[in-house]
Structures are given as C-alpha cells and as structure tokens.
Amino acid sequence: MSDKANGITLSKEKGVQNQYHIDILLANICVEAKNKEAYNTHEEELGDAQERLTALMIKLAELGAENKKDECRNLPVFSGNLHEWISIKDLFEAVVHHNSQLTGAQKLQYCKGLLQGEAAALVKSIPVSSVNYIEAWTILNARYENKLELIDSTLKQLFSQPAVQHESVSMLRRLEDTVLEYTQLLKVVGQRVKHWDSVLEFLVIEKLDSDSKHQWLSLKKDKLPTFSQLTEFLKHCRRALA
C-alpha cells in the first residue's frame, strides 16, 4: 500500500476517534443538563429538607446538653465518707470533670453543689471561677485519695461489725452484705482479698450466733473452705429461716 493510501486510512481512523470523543462529550453534557434540570425542579424541596435536618440536629444537641445538665444536678452528695469517695469521684469525673462543654467555673459550681459537711468546708473559701476549679479538685483528691487511710478505716469497719445474737434473716444478710461491701472496696484499692479466705472466715464465724457457728463447723470439719463457700452457707441459713 502506498504512503498516500496509508495516510488516508490513518486520517479516517483519527476522524472516527475524534467523533467518538465528541459523542462522549455530548452525552456527558446531556446528563449534566438533565441533572441540573432535576436539581432545579427539586431545589426548593431539598432546601426545605435541609432546613428541617439542621433544626433537628440543633434540637438533638440542645437535648444532649440538657441531659448533661440533669446528670450534673443529680450527682449523689458527698460529705467526707472515705468509703464513698471512689464511686463519687468516678461519677463526677465521667459527668463533669471530663465534660468539654462545661467551663471551669461551671465544674466548680457543680462540685461545690454535691459537697456537704467536712468536704464542703475544704473548698468553701475558694471563689467560683474557671482558674480555681483545678485547685479545688486537687484539694479534694489530696484529702480523700488516701489509700492507706481508706484501708485502715475499712478494716476497722470490717472487724467492728455487731455480732449476730440469734438466728435472724435480716442480721445474717446485714453481716454478709457488709463483709462483701468492704472486701470489694479493699479490692478496688489494690488489696489481694482473694487470698484472705482464712481471715474472712474467722471474722465472719466470730460474728455468727452459736447455732449457725455450730452448723458451719460441722460442715467444715478438717477442710479449708473458701470465702465463697462461706457466703453460700450464709445464704442457705437465710433461706432456712425465711
């Protein structure tokens, strides 16, 4: 084939390619035009929907803020009881201390609002302002975040429980609940209570009435029971008396 013929063939192929690209371009223009026409047709409806969505989001944000305020206002009161500090602190930090929507002044106001007695006296003279919040919170933590004092106080409470004078459902339940409460508190501050089976058994048995104590010693015999087995025994005694 001559060069001239080749040139004509290439020219035709190039013309076909150019026409193809033109057709694609025209098709895209038509699609864009149709989309624009559809958008213009529904533009007002879309605008209304956007306004309703924005209003809903604002309302949800307001409800969330109001719920946060309710949580802050409903925090339990703290009067200086060491055994209550850990749970009070965790709640306060979750609801107030780490709440980025509150200013330091608001946090201090909520903090003072939940304090009574000795605890309230610690920060009474501190004016409510954003710069004073951290100082007040640090003072409270320094006073009540005292693990040694908490452990001493808890052990005193644990060993000074009143003895069960006679078989009684309510007295047995109070003994069990108190021991469980204070042992759990000791776990929270890092004490290895799970190794205290013999100590806790001795403590509880010394507080039991004579009949319950006799039943337990008969069951125990020469074995070394766990504290869990002892609490199950106390439950059994309560059910038998109910």
Q: Is pLDDT above 60 for 128? A: yes
The confidence score (pLDDT) of residue 111 equals 92
Same structural domain, 94 and 159 = no
From 66, 93, 117, give the residue that closes a domain. 66
Q: Is pLDDT above 50 for 8? A: no
Backbone angles phi, psi at 73, to 5 degrees: -70, -25
Same structural domain, 111 and 126 = yes
Rg value, the chain, Cα: 37
Share of the chain above pLDDT 90, in %: 17
Same structural domain, 216 and 139 = no
Same structural domain, 232 and 155 = yes
Q: Is pLDDT above 80 for 29? A: no
SS3 189: coil
Element (H, E) at 233: helix 227-241
- What is d(CA 21, CA 16) in angstroms, rounded to the nearest whole number? 9
Same structural domain, 154 and 138 = no
Q: Is pLDDT above 70 for 158? A: yes
The confidence score (pLDDT) of residue 200 equals 87
Average pLDDT over residues 235-239: 84
From 66, 98, 121, give the residue that closes a domain. 66
59 band by pLDDT with thresholds 50, 70 and 90: low
Tokens representing 157 are: 């409470």
What value does the mean pLDDT of the chain take? 78
Segments forming the whole domain that contains residue 23: 1-66
Bridge partners of 115?
Answer: 78
Same structural domain, 10 and 86 = no
Write the single-letter amino acid at 52: R
138 band by pLDDT with thresholds 50, 70 and 90: very high
- What is d(CA 188, CA 83) in angstroms, rounded to the nearest whole number? 11
The confidence score (pLDDT) of residue 83 equals 83
- What is d(CA 229, CA 197) in angstroms, rounded to the nearest whole number? 10
Write the single-letter amino acid at 229: Q
pLDDT digits (tens, 9 = 90+) for 186-227: 888 788 888 888 888 888 888 888 888 888 888 877 778 888
The confidence score (pLDDT) of residue 136 equals 94
Contact 189, 147 (CB under 8 A): yes
Same structural domain, 21 and 93 = no
Same structural domain, 125 and 203 = no
Predicted TM-score (pTM) above 0.85: no
The confidence score (pLDDT) of residue 104 equals 93
The confidence score (pLDDT) of residue 2 equals 45
From 13, 48, 66, give the residue that closes a domain. 66
Contact 171, 229 (CB under 8 A): no
Same structural domain, 130 and 153 = no
Q: Is pLDDT above 60 for 17? A: no
Average pLDDT over residues 46-71: 56
Query: How wide is the angle at C-alpha 236 spanned by C-alphas 231 and 242, nearest 5°?
Result: 125
Same structural domain, 153 and 224 = yes
Same structural domain, 168 and 219 = yes
> Structurally, how many domains does the chain consist of?
3
Same structural domain, 158 and 197 = yes
Cα 72 from chain centroid?
14
From the list 174, 208, 181, 5, the residue with the least C-alpha distance to 81 is: 181
Contact 101, 62 (CB under 8 A): no
70 band by pLDDT with thresholds 50, 70 and 90: low
